[in-house]
Structure 1
C-alpha cells in the first residue's frame, strides 16, 4: 500500500515497538508501494487527516510479530520480494517502504541492494525525513527439493549486502527476516529460544493482534502479489489464438476510421463507449462467481467475446475515448468497469500486448479510486513495464507515491462529464 506511522523496534533492544494502523477513509489512497517499471520505488508516509477514533495502535514484540505484520504493511502477501521498511524517530515509527523482486542472477545482488537502499533513503529524505533505522524482509518460497531453511541460507548473502549497504548510509538494519514456506527466520537474532534454527511458523489466525487491529482500521490484505499480477496477465491458448484473429479483423475495420476524418473518429469513440457500457451492464447482471478472484475472472472472461474485446482495446488507444472511459470510477459503474478493464488487459496477447497500457491504466485508476491500492500499483506497474512513457500511468504512479488522495482527480473527471456535449 505507505501511509501512516507504523513502528517496529528490534526485539534484542528490550523495548517495545509500535505500529499505528491507518484508518480507512471512504476511498483510502495509500497502503503499500510497488516498484516502478525497471526498479524499486519509495513510499511516502501519510501526511495526516486520519480519524483519531480509528488510530489503532498495536505493540509488536519480537521478530514473529514483525513477520506477521508484513502483509498489513503492504496490503498483500509479497512473493519473491525484497521489502525494506524505513523507521523514523526515537520510537522507530514506520515511514516509507520499498519492494522489488529478488534478482535470479546472484551477481546483481550487490547492485540491487545499493539501488533499493538508496531509493528508500533518498525518497524518504525528499518527502519527509531520512530514516533512522530499517527493517528488512526477504520473501521467497522454497524451490523444488528445498526446505525453508535452505532459502534462508541461499539468501544470506543478499541479506548481508542489504545490511552493509544501509550501514554505508549510516542507517542500521535493526531486524532482517527471511519469510519462506510459511515460516520466518531472523538474520539478526542470536537467541535460539526466540528464533530457532528451524524457524517459526507464521501466525494465520484472524484473532492475532495485528489482524484484529487491521480489521478494525479497515486495512485489507488483497491476496498475494502473484495473485494480483495474475489478474492482469495475458491469457494463453486457446483464447489467445482466437483473440489474435479478432484483433486482426477489427484492426482492418477500425484503424482507418480512427485515422480518418473527424466524423469517423467521433463514430468510433461513440461506438467504443456504447460497447463498454453494454458490457458493464452484462457484468453487473452476470454477478460474481463464488470461489474468489480466480473464479470471478474466469466468469468475466466467459462473458466477453473476442470480437468485443478487440473493438474495445483498439478503441481505447484513442486518448479522448480512454479519458471518457475513466469517468466510470465510482458508484455502481466502478466495480463493473474494473472487471471489464482487467478482462481487456488479459486479452492483450502476443503481438497486441503493446495495446495493454490503456486498459491496465484504467484498471489501476479505478482500483485506486475504490481504495484497492495494491491492485492499483500492480496494474499501473504493468502498464509502465509495457510502455514506460505512457503519460496517464506515469501520472497515476506519481500521485499514489506522493500520497495523494484520488478525490481531486475524481472531481475533475466529474466536471468533464457534466460539461461534455454528447
Structure 2
C-alpha cells in the first residue's frame, strides 16, 4: 500500500489510470487486484493484494482492501484486476461489493492483461468492445510525466524485493569477519565499563549514540560506512535505547532511506531487525509503502517477534497515513498501534 507521491499525474481515461498505477505502487503489478482511491478528482492512495489462489476466499483481501481505502478519507475508488478473467473476476467483484458496503462510490472496475483492458461496468460495445480496448503505456503522457517527476516503476515486485536483498559473495564474507571484530570490541567495552555500570548499559548507550550520529553525519555527506562501521552499528542497535535513538532521528529523507538500505543489505541475518525496521519506517514516512513492506518481510521472516517490526507491519497493513503521526515516534500517542502478525501485501 502506498500514499501517492506529491507529483501530480493527470488521469483522464482508463488508459491513463493503467499507466499511472505502476508509479503509484512503485512496480508493475501482475496477478493482482489494485484499488486506486480518490478524494474528488485527486488520487490519494493506492493499495494492492495478490489475486486469491485456488480455494482461497476472495472476500479476505476484499474486506481488507476496502477497510484500508475507507481509512484514507476517500470518496470513490476504481478497482483494477491484473490477470486472466478466471482469477480476476471473483476478486474484483468481491472488492467492489466491499467498497460499496464501506460507503465508497466505485467509478469503474477494470481487468488488465496483454496490453488490453475490459470494463466490468460498461457493456456498450462502442466504447468497451468485447475483445478489450488496447492501451500503450509507453506512449502515455502520464508515464512521461511520472518519469519527469522522478517517480520509478520497477518491472515487478521481485525487482523491488531485490533492492533490500542481502549482498553475497566476498562482501558477505568480509562482513562476517567485521562482525567478529565488532563482537570482540563490544566484549572489551562491557568489560571496561566497571561494576557501577550494570552490564555496561551506559557505555553501550554512549557508544551507540556516537555510532548512530556518525552514520547520519556520513550519510549527509554522501559517505558510505565501512564494513567495520556497519558491523559495530548493527551490534549496538540490538540495544533498545540505541535503536530508539536512531528511530527518533530517522524520517522519510532520501539519505535516511539510502543509509538504512545499505546497512540492511550488508548486515548479518541475526542483526537485520533494527536496520530493516528503521528502513521500513523511513520508507513509510516517505510514502514508499511497497519498499517498506519488502523490508519488513525480511525482518519478520528472520525475527518474527521483533516488536518494532510488528508495529510497523500493523501501520502498513492498516494503511495509516504518515501525516496522522507527524512527530512520531518521539511524540508517539499511546495505544495508536495494535500488534498484528500478518500483513496483506502492498
* Deviation for aligned residue 1:374: 4.4
Where do 5+ consecutive residues of structure 2 fail to align? 101-105, 333-346
Q: Is 1:403 aligned to 2:339, yes or no?
A: no
Residue in structure 1 matched with residue 47 of structure 2 by the alignment: 98
Does residue 1:84 correspond to 2:34, yes or no? yes
Q: Is the Cα–Cα contact under 8 Å of residues 67 and 202 in structure 1 kept in the other structure?
A: no
Against the structure 1 CA distance between its residues 126 and 233, is the aligned structure 2 distance closer, same or farther, given a 3 Å change threshold? same
Aligned mates of 2:251, 2:42 — CA distance in 1: 34
1:18-417 pair list within 5 angstroms = 30-31=3-4, 58=10, 60-61=12-13, 63-74=14-25, 76-80=26-30, 82-85=32-35, 97-101=46-50, 108-111=53-56, 113-124=58-69, 134-138=78-82, 152=83, 155-166=84-95, 174-179=108-113, 183-186=115-118, 188=120, 191=125, 200-205=134-139, 208=141, 212=145, 221-224=151-154, 225-254=157-186, 261-262=197-198, 264-286=200-222, 303-329=224-250, 335-348=254-267, 352-370=268-286, 372-399=288-315, 401-405=319-323, 406-409=325-328, 412=331
Sort the Cα spacing of 1:134 and 1:251 in 2 relative to 1 into closer, same or farther, 3 A: same
Separation in 2, partners of 1:367, 1:210:
22
Q: Give unpaired runs (5+ residues) of structure 1.
A: 3-29, 33-53, 139-151, 288-302, 414-422
Number of residues of Structure 1 aligned to a counterpart in Structure 2: 316
Q: 1:193: how far off?
A: 7.9
**TM-score if structure 1 supplies the norm length?**
0.59
RMSD (Å) for aligned C-alpha atoms: 4.3
In structure 2, relative to structure 1, the CA distance for the partners of 1:369 and 1:410 (3 Å cut) is farther
> How big is each residue's C-alpha offset from its partner over 1:79-103, in whole Å with a ceiling of 9 and x where there is no partner?
44513316689x8987864323457
Equivalent residues of 1:97, 1:120 under 8 A apart: no
Inter-partner Cα distance in structure 2 for 1:330 and 1:192 = 50
**Equivalent residue for 2:336?**
none
- Is residue 117–residue 165 contact of structure 1 (8 Å, CA) maintained in 2? yes
Deviation at 1:345, TM superposition (A): 0.5
How much does 1:243 deviate? 1.9
Q: For 2:47, what is the secondary structure of its paired residue?
A: strand
- Verify the 8 A CA contact 2:37 2:76 in the aligned structure 1: yes
In the alignment, the residues of structure 1 paired with residue 288 and residue 76 of structure 2 have an alpha-carbon distance, to the nearest angstrom, of 30
1:204–1:262 CA distance, 2 compared to 1 (3 A): farther
Residues in 2 aligned to 1:186 and 1:392: alpha-carbon distance in whole angstroms: 42
Q: Contact (CA 8 Å) 1:87, 1:133: kept in 2 or not?
A: yes
Summarize the Cα distance change of 1:132–1:256 in structure 2 as closer, same or farther, 3 Å threshold: same
Q: Which residue of 2 aligns with 1:38?
A: none
Q: 1:202 to 1:252 in 2, by over 3 A?
A: farther
* Aligned equivalents of 1:99, 1:265: Cα separation in 2: 43
| Alignment partner, residue 341 of structure 2 | none
CA shift digits 1:250-291 (9 cap, x unpaired): 33553686698437232233223323433444444456xxxx
SS across alignment from 1:77: coil
Q: Counterparts of 2:300 and 2:131 in 1: how far apart (Å)?
A: 41
Q: Tell me the CA shift for residue 313 of structure 1.
A: 1.0
CA contact (8 A) 2:277 2:296 kept: yes
| Structure 1 residue 120 displacement after superposition | 1.8
How much does 1:174 deviate? 3.9
Contact 1:72/1:221 (CA < 8 Å) preserved in 2?
yes
